Amino acid sequence: MAGIREDAESGPAGLTLATSKVGDWANAIEAKRNAACLMRSASTHYVPIFYNQFVPETNIVVAAATTTPKLQDGVIAATQIAPSHEAGCTVFVHYNGPTDQLRGMCAGMATLEPGASPHPPHRHPEEEILIVSDGTGIIECDGKVTEVGPGAMMYCAGNTLHGITNTGKSQMTFYWSKWLANRASA
């Protein structure tokens, strides 16, 4: 799979690492994330979010809306949505709101350029499913880093640390859905 070879190559988030072990990528990503948090603390505005520890202020972290009107039946094409753009990432939110059975649910599609992530690994109260349709990368879920490609699917329970990074040489596309049950609290 692209992104991890025996010889040195550029990996996720601009890391260069000579390894064939996914675990080494995970350790390098964690070290880079910790260093980035220290470097950003002086220059980036961090906001506490009720479900995250602290993440950079961004439009890319989407929470399930619970106070909007109930979602309506139907089909929404990506061409009908105004996307959110951040460096290397484009997000389309197809649905976001309560349903008959869920307090809140949001679903959409995102594209990542090589080396990009939509945000640092994070936690939120919603359960989430993520499906990779194109490209290759890694998904971190509950401390485990897994190489992924088309057809890979992630499930994570609420408040589980997770994230995705495009480690390939072409654009990565994935679909996501997260939800809060009527009994869950945010």
Cα–Cα distance measured from residue 145 to residue 109, given in angstroms and rounded to the nearest whole number: 21
Residues facing 172 on adjacent strands: 112
What are the mean pLDDT values of the chain's consecutive 10-residue runs (186 residues total)?
A: 34 36 44 34 32 37 90 94 92 95 96 94 95 98 97 97 97 97 73
Q: Residue 24 is inside which H or E element, if any?
A: helix 22-40
* Residue 55, beta-bridge partner list: 47
d(CA 12, CA 7) in angstroms, rounded, equals 15
pLDDT reported for residue 184: 57
pLDDT of residue 157: 97
The phi and psi torsions of 97 (rounded to 5 degrees) equal: 165, 180
Q: Residue 81: its pLDDT value, please?
A: 93
Please check whether residue 102 is in contact with residue 182, taking contact to mean a CB–CB distance below 8 angstroms: yes
- Region for 52 from its dihedrals, namely left if φ exceeds 0, alpha if ψ lies in -120 to 50, beta otherwise: beta
pLDDT at residue number 60: 65
Name the phi and psi angles at 16, rounded to 5.
-115, 130
CATH H-level superfamily of 9-181? Jelly Rolls (2.60.120.10)
The ranges assigned to domains in the chain are 9-181
2-46 pLDDT, tens digit each: 333 233 333 443 333 333 334 444 444 444 433 333 222 333 333
pLDDT of residue 183: 78
Provide the pLDDT for residue 18: 33
- Give the type of residue at 10: S
> What is the identity of the amino acid at 47?
V
pTM of the model: 0.68
For residue 141, the model assigns a pLDDT of 97
